[in-house]
Structure 1
Amino acid sequence: MKVTFKNRLQNVIFLLVILKTCLCFSQIIAPKKIIVIDPGHGGMDPGALGVLNVREKDVVLNLAKEVLQLNKTVLDSRFEIHLTRHNDTLIALKDRSQFSKRLKADVFLSLHCNAALNFAYGMEAFVWEKSSVNGNYPMKLASSLLKEVNINLGFKNRVVKYSNFQVLRDTAPFCTSVLLEIGFITHDEEAAYFLRSKNTKAMALAILMGLLKS
């Protein structure tokens, strides 16, 4: 498998232009959404351990912070974004959902990295296996996120799946809830991808585009 990340990442400026265009159209339609970005794991729980000493907890925290920053600098705070953690601390799963409920979040987006013993690669998303408060919108949002990352960054789209993960189970009854596995850090190229800050920015831009277009 040959991933064409090198060529795809020349499109960061292009992503910024498209993102601005999406913003112009989205401002006409809807009020500001409250979005909780949940970087998985943290503290004593590193999450998945990948090649090149890449740790899941670090990758997802860096990405969450970039989404937060770009929402302010590129989208003029189009969304009201909150993070469940801002540093290397471990937050209980129930506290992540309760935090979202207190904020009356419209969207709960949990960020994780995948790991496998084989050469699996790509990005996948999960929604709660039962009905949610917003009907089919979680599936629509998850599909939009995967589509933007696939088209703009070249990550394989491993499609949306149903799951009974606790953070989905606890948040889906009151808001749109998606868990995103942003790549396999056990895969050489995908692990190396997240070691560069410009790649994290590109991923954050694609996620913001997915949020705007959903």
Structure 2
Amino acid sequence: MAQEKVYPSAGHHDKDPGAMAHGFVEMKEMDAFRNLLIEYLMYKGHRFVTDQNHETNTQYQSRIKPIKGDVVLDMHLNAASPSATGCEVFISNNAGQTSKDFAKELVDGCSCIMGIANRGVKTESQSNRGKLGILNKPGTAALIEFCFITNMSDMQAFHSKRMELVQFVGDLLIKYDQNK
């Protein structure tokens, strides 16, 4: 039997909680989302490996062993001025077609569900960091910035559509994990 897996991660950890605004903490928001996503994947009977809150990004990346056909998704909330809005997805500078297709479906679907701007698919070199190691693992890989934690309307959309987003993202992970 095939050993397909998806690798959803909350993107931050106990020692690096990520962005904070309006009483929201990125790590807590993504932790809650990841946990709902894991419940959904278990309900669907799909295999997954995820990060742990005590692990640094380096520790998580060293532990996971995705292979061709697996799907890696790192989940985040963006931060900027209070007027910045939208959903965007990053892929490796050397992303294959499957990663590009996955990222496009992900950003199109999530921005539509939340009714916020679609900021598109961008390469890791277009990110603030320039290089995102998680995107260079084998298989299909993407990093999503669901919305801006600094924009109250974005966060309201994210919270009000959370379960729809969980189902959409879960189904998309499973869909792209079927590439055998």
Pairing of 1:139-154 with structure 2 (within 5 A): 139-154=100-115
**Cα separation, 1, equivalents of 2:117 and 2:76:** 16
Question: What TM-score does the superposition give when structure 2 sets the normalisation length?
Answer: 0.83
Question: What TM-score does the superposition give when structure 1 sets the normalisation length?
Answer: 0.70
Structure 2 residue matching 1:80: 3-state secondary structure:
coil
Residue 123 and residue 32 in structure 1: after superposition, are their counterparts in 2 closer, same or farther (change >3 A)? farther
Q: What residue in structure 2 maps to residue 9 of structure 1?
A: none
Gaps of 5+ in 2: 125-130
**Cα separation, 2, equivalents of 1:175 and 1:96:** 16
Query: Which of the residues 112, 118, 135 maps onto 1:168?
Result: 135
Flag as ranges the 4+ runs of structure 1 deviating above 6 A.
none
1:210 lines up with 2:179 in the alignment:
no
Query: Which of the residues 165, 172, 178 maps onto 2:142?
Result: 178
Listed one character per residue, the Cα deviations across residues 79-132 of structure 1 (whole Å, up to 9, x for unaligned) are: 3122112xx42x22222222221x547111000110002511111000011x24
Question: Which moves more between the two structures, 202-211 or 41-50?
Answer: 202-211
Query: Which of the residues 156, 163, 171 maps onto 1:192?
Result: 156
Residue 144 and residue 213 in structure 1: after superposition, are their counterparts in 2 closer, same or farther (change >3 A)? farther
Preserved contact between residue 50 and residue 186 of structure 1 (Cα < 8 Å) = yes
1:65 partner letter: N
Of Structure 1 and Structure 2, which has the larger fraction of its residues in helix? 1
Number of aligned residues: 168
Structure 1 residue matching 2:48: 3-state secondary structure:
strand
CA RMSD in angstroms comes to 2.1
